[in-house]
């Protein structure tokens, strides 16, 4: 009896004492190649989380913001949300015969995908509002979830759940494991990204900050709803991203990650934080495994201000989840 | 040696096994009198957190929203934020001699506090914008923190840290301990409430949703700032509260707590949730320990829809922290 008790107790002690260390020895960024990018991330997180260290940052200030399209998942040939918009508009089209003649709607009925890639911001906004307005928040979420269940990326031939960047998923988890609060700050619409932020990225929906459609409180049959109106109240891009970071998050990020021109102001806002910060730019330079396109506008300030440029080709062992 | 090991191990085992239960036996709502209100709160939380139970709600949907003025702390004789606005305007007054003659500003220089209590919403907005605009977000937070360090409530003679309702503080902690995410949804301005939400209520600043001032991204000397413009972009009240709940939080609350007319739509929005919800109305009926004033507009739907009316007089053993 005594022996069993001793043995059991020792097992419990070993369990309590050693499990945390065993966890710490695993590489949290397994899909990243060893090299300067990975090392710089580790060094930064160690510094800001080392209590009593010179660069320690209190947990409440450990805020990390991530752009979505091109940062957490591909944005080529089109941002994923546009595929949803197109499908939704095609569903609605029979009720709107005038769409076949009028731009920008007639683009939906052409067989030329390039026409969709060259739409202006104003025209994208028009399409989005036609697809998104006139329903309750609940119905909209339901529509997105239905679409997600079957949609496949036209070139990569995977669904939403196979489309995100595995190295970014690991980075999000690694940061949260070190006490960071992770946010998605996107030019996409909040409500679309929220439909997938929890299952895909472990980011709670209230930590998604994006483009907002007009919303209105409405009573229908004595029951309260919030319904969607056809106007954009906050198109999240460029200089509006730091503004919406202040509105939703309320402080400068400690870590900011982006990949394009529309992330420059967000990266600068983190970079100008009093004390340390880590700004990362994802460089799409891997034509064989993903897409190759330059973003010189953001690479220039990245070089000038020593932001970390992550080369997909060089720094990512794996791009998509296996 | 073996005996010591056995003893040590047993202590560790006891520690690991019994500490959580010991914690659970403490009353998490100590400042609440035993009675139907307290029991209803306990029953609700037990039901929605009981895994595999019929009323179980997944953690991501365990959202609790709290109004601020009159719900988390007093709003009489004036909402606390107005004291800050007044002090700030008095500091700025020497640069604005015209204020002494023009309404609503001249009210600041009168010795009649009642004049402040009867200001219209439009006039309060005018005062707030004059006090709040034209500085960076950082400078504004700094101003609020400075003010908080010395201000005292004129009647209760306590500072900000002695002003909140202890029973609500316990409720927030209790809900968080049961996996709830707690939010403040207030008619006050987000940035003001954020200056105190973490130290006072343990609510992270990104979980504060309030009235928003115009914000703008600005480069000054090559450094990025977000500056405050004299316009209200979203006055959070009544039907705008559920709208901003959707914008910031992205789903119906499971628990909503308020005390006045401007909380009715928020309470209804939680109440109309598919499945269970808990809606609470704080009734200010204790003239001797706090303030007494009726809020019939909200008590009527509360009665019709069986929302929980919390009587300060009957249900709260203690009102303010000791």
A136 preceded by a cis bond (ω within 30 of 0): no
What residue of B is the nearest CA neighbor of A211?
Answer: B247
pLDDT digits (tens, 9 = 90+) for A41-54: 999 999 999 999 99
Q: Chain B contacts of A9, Cβ < 8 Å?
A: 5-6, 8-10, 12-13
Contact between residue B254 and residue B278 where contact means Cβ atoms under 8 Å apart:
yes
d(CA A165, CA A154): 17
pLDDT at residue A78 above 60? yes
pLDDT digits (tens, 9 = 90+) for B112-141: 777 888 888 889 889 999 999 999 999 999
Shortest alpha-carbon distance between residue B276 and chain A (Å): 15
On whether residue A244 sits in a domain, the answer given is yes
pTM: 0.91
Q: In what order do the strands lie in the sheet with A308-311?
A: A223-234, A208-220, A181-189, A63-66, A255-258, A278-283, A308-311
Instruction: State the distance between the two ends of chain B, measured CA to CA, in whole angstroms.
Output: 49
Q: Chain A contacts of B216, Cβ < 8 Å?
A: 239, 243
| Residue-level pLDDT at B321 | 95
Nearest to A137 by CA among B247, B62, B64: B247
- Going by their DSSP bridges, the two strands B223-234 and B208-220 should be labelled as antiparallel
pLDDT at residue B21 above 80? no
Nearest to B301 by CA among B132, B270, B288, B290: B270
Shortest alpha-carbon distance between residue A239 and chain B (Å): 6
pLDDT digits (tens, 9 = 90+) for A9-57: 655 555 554 454 544 569 999 999 999 999 999 999 999 999 999 999 9
On whether residue A57 sits in a domain, the answer given is yes
How many CB pairs below 8 Å do chains A and B form together?
Answer: 120
On whether residue B209 sits in a domain, the answer given is yes
Of A5, A16, A242, the CB nearest to B6: A5
pLDDT digits (tens, 9 = 90+) for A217-244: 999 999 999 999 998 877 767 999 999 9
Q: Report phi then psi at A138, rounded to 5.
A: -60, -45
Q: Which of A247, A269, A305 to mutate to test the interface with B (most CBs of B within 10 A)?
A: A247
Contact between residue A169 and residue A205 where contact means Cβ atoms under 8 Å apart:
no
- Going by their DSSP bridges, the two strands B181-189 and B63-66 should be labelled as parallel
Q: Which of B8, B204, B247 to mutate to test the interface with A (most CBs of A within 10 A)?
A: B247
Of B6, B226, B248, the CB nearest to A248: B248
On whether residue A128 sits in a domain, the answer given is no
Phi-psi region of A302 (alpha: psi -120 to 50; beta: other; left: phi over 0): alpha
What residue of A is the nearest CA neighbor of B238?
Answer: A217
Alpha helices in chain A (DSSP H): 2-25, 36-49, 80-92, 113-117, 121-132, 137-150, 166-177, 190-196, 240-248, 264-271, 296-304, 312-315
- Over residues B270-286, the mean pLDDT reads 97
CA angle, corner B150, sides to B146 and B154, nearest 5?
Answer: 130
Q: Chain B contacts of A186, Cβ < 8 Å?
A: none
| Residue-level pLDDT at B227 | 97
Paired tokens of A146: 């239905």
Question: Cβ of A181 and B242 within 8 Å?
Answer: no
On whether residue B194 sits in a domain, the answer given is yes
Contact between residue B31 and residue B316 where contact means Cβ atoms under 8 Å apart:
yes
Question: Cβ of B5 and A8 within 8 Å?
Answer: no
- Tell me what the pLDDT averaged over chain A comes to: 92
On whether residue B262 sits in a domain, the answer given is yes
- β partners of residue A119: none
Paired tokens of A243: 């503004």
Question: Cβ of B247 and A12 within 8 Å?
Answer: no
On whether residue A122 sits in a domain, the answer given is no
Q: Which letter does DSSP use for residue B17 in this model?
A: H
Q: Which of B18, B194, B250 to mutate to test the interface with A (most CBs of A within 10 A)?
A: B250
Question: Cβ of A60 and B198 within 8 Å?
Answer: yes
Q: Chain B contacts of A243, Cβ < 8 Å?
A: 215-217, 226
Question: Cβ of B217 and A239 within 8 Å?
Answer: yes
Shortest alpha-carbon distance between residue B129 and chain A (Å): 16
What residue of B is the nearest CA neighbor of A244?
Answer: B215
pLDDT at residue A112 above 80? no
Q: Chain A contacts of B271, Cβ < 8 Å?
A: 224
With bands split at pLDDT 50, 70 and 90, how would you rate the model's confidence at B68? very high
Question: Cβ of B13 and A10 within 8 Å?
Answer: no
Question: Can you give the CATH number for the domain in which A70 is found?
Answer: 3.40.50.1000
- Tell me what the pLDDT averaged over chain B comes to: 92
Q: What is the ipTM of this complex?
A: 0.90
Q: Which letter does DSSP use for residue B210 in this model?
A: E
Paired tokens of B61: 């949907």
| Residue-level pLDDT at A108 | 84
User: For the residues of A165-202, what is the DSSP string, one character each?
Assistant: -HHHHHHHHHHHHTTPEEEEEEEEEHHHHHHHIIIII-
**Tokens 């504004």 — which residue?**
B140
d(CA A321, CA A308): 23
| Residue-level pLDDT at B23 | 47
Q: Chain B contacts of A180, Cβ < 8 Å?
A: none
pLDDT at residue A71 above 60? yes
What residue of A is the nearest CA neighbor of B9?
Answer: A9
Q: Which domain holds residue A231?
A: 31-75+160-315
On whether residue A215 sits in a domain, the answer given is yes
- Over residues B70-93, the mean pLDDT reads 94
pLDDT at residue B242 above 90? yes
- Over residues A185-210, the mean pLDDT reads 96
Count structural domains, chain A: 1
Q: Chain B contacts of A253, Cβ < 8 Å?
A: none
Contact between residue A290 and residue A75 where contact means Cβ atoms under 8 Å apart:
no
- Give the relative orientation of helices A264-271 and A240-248 as an angle to the nearest 10 degrees: 60
pLDDT digits (tens, 9 = 90+) for A249-294: 999 999 999 999 999 999 999 999 999 999 999 999 999 999 999 9
Q: Chain A contacts of B191, Cβ < 8 Å?
A: 250
């Amino acid at each position: 009896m005594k022996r069993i008790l001793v043995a059991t107790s020792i097992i419990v002690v070993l369990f309590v004492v050693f499990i945390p260390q065993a966890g710490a020895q695993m590489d949290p960024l397994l899909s990243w190649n060893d090299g300067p990018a990975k090392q710089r991330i580790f060094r930064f997180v160690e510094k800001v989380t080392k209590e009593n260290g010179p660069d320690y940052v209190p947990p409440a200030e450990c805020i990390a913001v991530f752009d979505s399209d091109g940062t957490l998942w591909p944005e080529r040939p089109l941002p994923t949300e546009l595929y949803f918009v197109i499908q939704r508009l095609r569903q609605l089209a029979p009720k709107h015969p005038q769409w076949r003649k009028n731009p920008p709607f007639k683009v939906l009925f052409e067989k030329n995908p390039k026409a969709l890639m060259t739409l202006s911001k104003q025209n994208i906004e028009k399409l989005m509002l036609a697809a998104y307005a006139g329903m309750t928040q609940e119905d909209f979420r339901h529509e997105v979830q239905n679409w997600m269940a079957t949609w496949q990326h036209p070139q990569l031939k995977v669904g939403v759940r196979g489309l995100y960047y595995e190295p970014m998923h690991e980075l999000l988890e690694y940061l949260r494991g070190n006490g960071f609060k992770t946010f998605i700050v996107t030019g996409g619409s909040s409500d679309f990204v929220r439909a997938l932020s929890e299952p895909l990225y472990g980011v709670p929906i209230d930590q998604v900050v994006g483009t907002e459609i007009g919303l209105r409180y409405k009573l229908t049959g004595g029951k309260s709803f919030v319904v969607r109106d056809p106007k954009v109240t906050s198109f999240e891009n460029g200089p509006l991203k730091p503004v919406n970071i202040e509105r939703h998050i309320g402080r400068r990020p400690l870590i900011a990650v982006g990949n394009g021109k529309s992330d420059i102001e967000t990266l600068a806002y983190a970079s100008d934080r009093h004390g340390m910060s880590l700004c990362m730019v994802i460089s799409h330079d891997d034509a064989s495994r993903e897409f190759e396109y330059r973003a010189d506008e953001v690479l220039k300030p990245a070089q000038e201000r020593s932001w970390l440029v992550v080369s997909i080709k060089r720094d990512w062992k794996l791009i998509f989840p296996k």
